Structure 1
Amino acid sequence: MHNADDSKSPLERYLGATIRELRQSHGLTIAQVAEQAGISRGMLSKIENAQTSTGLDVLNRIAMALGVSMSTLFRNFDVPQGGAQLVKKGAGMEVVRKGTQRGHTYHLLAYDQGPRKLFEPFLITMDDASERFPVFEHPGTEFIHMLKGVIEYRHGQQTYILHPGDTLTFRADIPHGPERLIKTPIQFLSIFVYAQPAAE
């Protein structure tokens, strides 16, 4: 079925709907907003129904009549559709960390972030209580959230006992790593967050 609005630009339709929504949410009538904005009721009605284009001056007056800024009228226009990366359960890329052995798997849960990594989230599983662990040091901040099991985790001079639901956040350039696996299987989410250079 052909819609009469199809010939109108997406911006006109968007602005009309936004103005109507703001007006109604503020409990204002077309007559009240039109009077405040110094335009006719017919003109405002046409703008709301995307039946006419209007200049920035009139839009600015309508925004002021609604008690919002011009930027508020445009804030949701042309927002990207989204480009979320979904990694289904068990589908993370398995990676081998230097010094880790059997019984210790890392699944990288997000990748292809472009030339500069912002963060790396890993799902780490450990089930060999006798495994010896290397000490890790790397740039950025690390965030660990325990999902299963119990682990004693070292950061610098301190050790922490982590149970399911516990979270540990620390500077990753200080030596850290598992000290002792207390109850296996162990599974935790580990997110490395990298500092970004200041904008030019």
Structure 2
Amino acid sequence: MPRKAAARVKDVPAEAISRHLGARVKQLRSDRNWSLEALAGASGVSRSMLSEIEREQANPTLAVTLRIAQAFGMSLSELIETPGVSSSITVIRHHDRAFHYRSDDHCRIRTLSPLNLEKDVEFYEVELQPGGALRSAPHFEGTREFLTVVKGLVKVESNEDTDTLHHGDSTTYRADVPHAILNAGKGEALVFLVVIYR
């Protein structure tokens, strides 16, 4: 654990860390739509132990906690840092697989906003390979998306409307109707996407 993180955590009562850990594991699992069985398979920690941790009925060993952190693609300190004693700066590392929302041969989506926050705004980095597309069903009424093209040629569809964007172009469009982002070029496309819920 980094020294600063250790310093922030050491004065917190063990019960508070255990309570925070249970809620944190449950939230992270929910964010990924993982069942207890899925987390057990990824971490090597039994389903019953994970259930007890989430219900704050277990005080896991350091080794067990580390395995859970690794299953989420996090460091130990990132998993156990408690609100109010951690830094006011939250960093999402480029290599942190926990923030890779989707990754396949045609499309990779990385969330750039913290997973554990209830928020009205979401921020994503989207990579589209040639021929790749990100198609979405309507979001909640009033939802809009804001998109900036960092690289490549991109076509945006919102219901019946379409437009093509080049490097440096930005757009906003309704996302409470069927919508899509398509790579319209011959090379990789990279965009930053902001979703705002009304």
Q: Which has the larger radius of gyration?
A: 1
- TM-score, normalised relative to structure 2: 0.48
